[in-house]
Structure 1
Amino acid sequence: MLFNSVTFLLFFILFFFLYWFVTGKSFRWQNILILVASYIFYGWWDWRFVFLLILSTLIDYFFGLAIYQSTTRKKLYLWLSVANNLVILGFFKYYNFFAESFQQMSQKMGWEIHPYILEIVLPVGISFYTFHGMSYVFDIHNGKLKPTSNFIEYAVFVCFFPLLVAGPIERANHLLPQVIKPRTFQYSQAMEGMRLILWGLFKKLVVADSLAVIVNQIFGHHESYSGATLVLGAVYFAFQIYGDFSGYTDIALGTAKLLGFELLTNFKFPYFSRDIAEFWRRWHISLSSWFRDYVYIPLGGSKDGKWGSLKNIFIIFLLSGFWHGAKWTYVVWGGYHALLYVPLFLLNINRKHSDKIVAHDRKLPTLKEFLQMSLVFAMVTIGWVVFRSSSLVDAVHYFEGMTRNLFAMPKETDGLKLVVLFLILDWFARKDERKPHAFVRDEVYIILLTIALLIFGKGTNENIEFIYFQF
C-alpha cells in the first residue's frame, strides 16, 4: 500500500475515524487497532511476509525480556537475538549476493561451482524493522531501557505503519513511551501533520516522480547522450532520491502527528551542507545515528587512536552502503563517502558545522558558503551515480560518458525548472524541517499545496513506489 495512492487515502480515512471516534477513549484499544492496521498495511504487498514480521517481532520481544531478567547470560541472549535478526535479514536480502559473488570468485580461480540461487521476493522494509528490533535489545542490554511486558505495545513500536517500510528507524526509548500512554487529538499538531503530508506528497509526486521519468531515460540509455546531459541526469537523480525519500519521511511524520505521535527527524536539508560530515548529520539521520550508537561507539569510536578510528569509520560507511542492498555499487558508494569523510576527521574539523543550518540568521549564504555547498553537492552527486547504476561497469561507463561532449547543449532540460523550484522552496523552509514554510498560514498553505498537487502531481500517471521500499 503506497502513501501516494487512493487505496492508502481510503485506508487512512477509515482508520482515522476508528482511531479517534471509536477507540479514542482507550489507548490500549487504539494500540490494538494500530497493530491490526499495520499488519493490513504491510500485508497489502504480500501476506506471506506478515508472518515473517511477526516472527521477527516475537524474537526480539522474548529476548528483550530474557536479557533484562538474566543475571549471568545477558550477553548470550543479546547475541542470540542479533544472530536471529541477521540470519533472517541475510537469508532474504544477502544470500544470493554472497552465493553469486562466491561463484564468480571461484570461476576466476578455475573452479566450477554452482551454488543454489533462491528465487524469493525481498520483503519490503525488512532492513528497517530489523534495525528497530536490534536497537531495542541493545538498549536493554546496555541498561538504557526497561523492556515492556506487553507484547502489543512492543509490536506497535516495531510495526507502526507510518514508518514500517521506510523509516525513520525509531528508538524504543523515544517511541515506546508514546505507545504506552493515552493520546489526545491536538489541532496544532494535526495542522503540522497536514503541512508535512502535503509537502511530502509535493516532493514525491511533483518533484521525484517527474524527475524519475527523465532519470530512467538518461541512465537507461547513457551511451546515447552527451556529457552535459549525463551531468544533468546525475543532478536530477540527486533531487529525485532526496525528494522521494525525504518526501516519504515527511508523510510518515505527518501521518504520525495526526495520530498523536512524534517520530524522529530523518532529514535536515542535506544539500545545504558545507562539508561531507554535515551532510551525513542531515541525510538519513536515523540510520547514521544507529550505526554511530550501535557499531561505531562499541567498536571504540574515536577513542581507539587515529588508525583504530579510521578503521571504525570505514566499517560504518561500508556497512551503511551494504545496508542499502546486496550490490557492489552500494558498498563502493559507502567506501567513497568514507574517503570523503576521512580528511575532515584527520584535520579534526568534522564537527565544524554541527550547530545551525547555513545562513541561519541571513536570507542568503555568503560566497564562501555557496561555494562550500556547491562542492559538497558535486561530491555527493558523483556518489549518486554509483548508487543509481545497475553495476560498477555501468557506473564506469556513465562517468566516461560524462567527459564526452561536455560543453554540448544538454537535452532533457525540462527538469531544471523543478530542481530550481524545489531548491527555492527548501531554502525558505530550512530553519525547521517540521514546519515547512511556517510563514504561510496553515489554511493558505494547505489550499496552495493541494492545488499544486492536483495540477502538477500526476507524475507518470501511475503510482511509483518510493525508492527506499527496496531496502
Structure 2
Amino acid sequence: MVFSSLIFLFLFLPLVLVIYYLSPRMLRNGILFAASLVFYAWGEPVYLFLMIFSTALDYTNGLLLDKHRGRKGIARAVFIGSIIANLGVLGFFKYYGFLVATINDLFSLHIHAADLPLPVGISFYTFQTMSYVIDVYLGKVAVQKNFISFGAYVTMFPQLVAGPIVKYGDIAKQLAGRKVTIDQFGEGAELFIKGLAKKVLLANNIGLLWTNVKAAPLDELAVLSAWLGIVAFAFQIYFDFSGYSDMARGLGKMFGFDFLKNFNYPYVSKSITEFWRRWHISLGSWFREYVYIPLGGNREGTAKQLRNLFVVWMLTGLWHGANWNFILWGLYFGLFLALEKWFLLEWLKRRAHIVAHLYTLLIVIVGWVFFEFENLSSAWAFIGTMFGLGAHPLVDNQALYDLSTHFALLIALAMCSTPLPEKAFSLLRERWNITGAFIGTAVYSSLLFLSTAYLVNETYNPFLYFRF
C-alpha cells in the first residue's frame, strides 16, 4: 500500500484514525503497531515475518544489553551479534545477488543466485533497529521493555517503507505518552496534502518526460533532450522523495509524533557540502553518527579524515542499491566533498552566489546520471551526449516539442524547489488573519481534490525510494 493511493486515502487512513482516537491512550501504541503490520502486509505479506523477526531480535538484544550492562564481555558479544545479524539479513536480501554476480564476473564462474525480491523498506527499518541497539549499548537511551511500544517504533507505517530514518531517542518520550491538539492535527493534515501534491501533481508528471527521454535511442538524442531529461529526473526524485517525507511527517503529527525534517530545499545549495546537509537529512545524520564519528571523523588528521569520508560515501552509495553505479555515485560525491574540505569550499565562498549555485547544480545533475543508469557504459554515453560528444545535434524537433510542452511545468518545479512559495503563502495567511485561514483551507482542499482526481485516472505511481 502506498500513501498516494485511493485505498489508503479513503479507507485505510480514516479507519485507523477513527479506531486510534476512539481507543484509550494505553491501547494506542498497540493499534498503531497492528495497523502498521496490516499496512506492510498489504503489499509485502511474505516479508511481514522478516520485519517481525528484526523487531523481535533487536527488542531481545536491547533487553540482554540492559541485563548485562555491568558485564562488558557479554554486552559486547550481544552488541556484535546484533550488528552481524542485522547486516546479515540486509546483506542477504539486498546484496546477495550483486555479490554472486561480481564473483562470477571476476573469476569467470557461473554460480547461480536466487532472484530474491527486495523487501520494501528493509534498508530503513534495519537502520532504525540498529541505531536503537547501538544507543542502548552506549547508554544513550533507556531500554524499551514494552514489546508493543518497540514494535510501534520499528513498524510505524507513516515512515516505515521510505523514511525518514527515525532514531529511537528522538521519539522515546512520544512513545511513552503523547497528546495531539487540533492545531497539530491540522498542521499534519496540511503537510500530508502538500506532500501528496508534490508526488502526484509534480513528480509523476515530470517523470513522464524522463521516461520518454530515457527510452529514446541514445544515438538519436539531441543535447537539449538529454539535459531536459536528466533535469526532469532531478525534479522527479526530489519531489517524489521529499513528498513522501512530507506525508510521513504529516501522518506522524496526526498520530502525535514529531519526525525530524528530511529535506530542506537542497536545490538552493551553493556547495555539495550544503546540498548533503539539506538532502535526505536523516540518512546523512545516521552515517555521521554511527560510521563517520566512530571511525575518527576529522579528529585524526587529514589522511584519516579523507579515508573516513570515502568509506562513508561508498557505504552511502551502496545503501541506495546493490550495483556498481550506486557505489560510483557515492564515491563521486565523496570526491567533491573532499575537494571542498581541502580548498574548493573557501574558493566558492569568494565567488558570486550564482557561480556557486550553478557549480552545485551541475555536479548534482551529472551525479543523477550515475544514480539512474545501472549500466555504467550507458551512464558515460549519456553524459557524453549532455556535453555534445559524438554526432548529436544541439537541438532537434523532439527537443523543442518537449521544451515547449513542459516549459510551464519546469518553471513551476523550479519555483517550488525554493522556499519562496511557502514563505509567500505563510505571509499571506498571517497578514490576512481569518481570511488567510479560509484561503489556506481552500488551497489545501483544492490540492487534495486535484491529487485525488489525478489518482482516479493514474494506474502506476510508485515512490522511487521504495526500491532502496
TM-score where L is the length of structure 2: 0.91
Alpha carbons 1:202, 1:449 under 8 Å: kept: no
| Partner Cα distance (2:160, 2:15) in 1 | 19
In the other structure, the counterpart of 1:185 is 180
> How has the CA–CA distance of structure 1 residues 93 and 212 changed in structure 2, closer, same or farther, with 3 Å as cutoff?
same
| Partner Cα distance (1:93, 1:269) in 2 | 30
| Partner Cα distance (1:337, 1:416) in 2 | 30
In the other structure, the counterpart of 2:37 is 39
Give 1:386's aligned amino acid. F
In the alignment, structure 1 residue 412 sits paired with structure 2 residue 402: yes
In the alignment, structure 1 residue 465 sits paired with structure 2 residue 442: no
- Over the residues paired in the alignment, what is the CA RMSD in angstroms? 2.3
Alpha carbons 2:270, 2:353 under 8 Å: kept: yes
> How has the CA–CA distance of structure 1 residues 426 and 396 changed in structure 2, closer, same or farther, with 3 Å as cutoff?
closer
Shift of 1:429: 4.8
Give 2:89's aligned amino acid. I
Shift of 1:119: 2.2
| Partner Cα distance (1:77, 1:119) in 2 | 32
In the other structure, the counterpart of 2:237 is 241
Where 1:261 maps in the other structure, the secondary structure is: coil
Q: How many matched pairs?
A: 448
TM-score where L is the length of structure 1: 0.90
Structure 1 residues 155-194: aligned runs within 5 Å:
155-181=151-177, 183-194=178-189
In the other structure, the counterpart of 1:146 is 142
The alignment-based identity, stated in percent, is: 35
1:299-338 Cα distance to aligned partner (Å, 9 max, x none)? 0100121010000000101100000010111111001001
In the alignment, structure 1 residue 337 sits paired with structure 2 residue 333: yes
Shift of 1:75: 1.7
Shift of 1:346: 1.6
1:273-318 Cα distance to aligned partner (Å, 9 max, x none)? 1110000000000000100000000001001210100000001011
Structure 1 residues 28-427: aligned runs within 5 Å:
28-70=26-68, 71-72=71-72, 73-107=74-108, 113-181=109-177, 183-223=178-218, 224-347=220-343, 349=345, 368-402=352-386, 403=388, 404-408=392-396, 410=399, 411-413=401-403, 414-427=405-418
| Partner Cα distance (1:431, 1:309) in 2 | 38
Give 2:383's aligned amino acid. F
| Partner Cα distance (2:384, 2:410) in 1 | 25
> How has the CA–CA distance of structure 1 residues 302 and 391 changed in structure 2, closer, same or farther, with 3 Å as cutoff?
same
Shift of 1:259: 1.1
| Partner Cα distance (1:54, 1:429) in 2 | 43
Select between 423-432 and 197-206 the one with higher mean Cα deviation. 423-432
| Partner Cα distance (1:299, 1:29) in 2 | 42
Where 1:302 maps in the other structure, the secondary structure is: coil
Alpha carbons 1:205, 1:453 under 8 Å: kept: no
| Partner Cα distance (1:122, 1:438) in 2 | 44
Shift of 1:424: 1.9
Alpha carbons 1:4, 1:463 under 8 Å: kept: no
Where 2:264 maps in the other structure, the secondary structure is: coil
1:209-259 Cα distance to aligned partner (Å, 9 max, x none)? 001111111112251320111011111100000000000000000111111
Give 2:371's aligned amino acid. F
Q: Which runs of 5+ in 1 are unaligned?
A: 108-112, 354-365
| Partner Cα distance (2:55, 2:379) in 1 | 38
> How has the CA–CA distance of structure 1 residues 276 and 50 changed in structure 2, closer, same or farther, with 3 Å as cutoff?
same
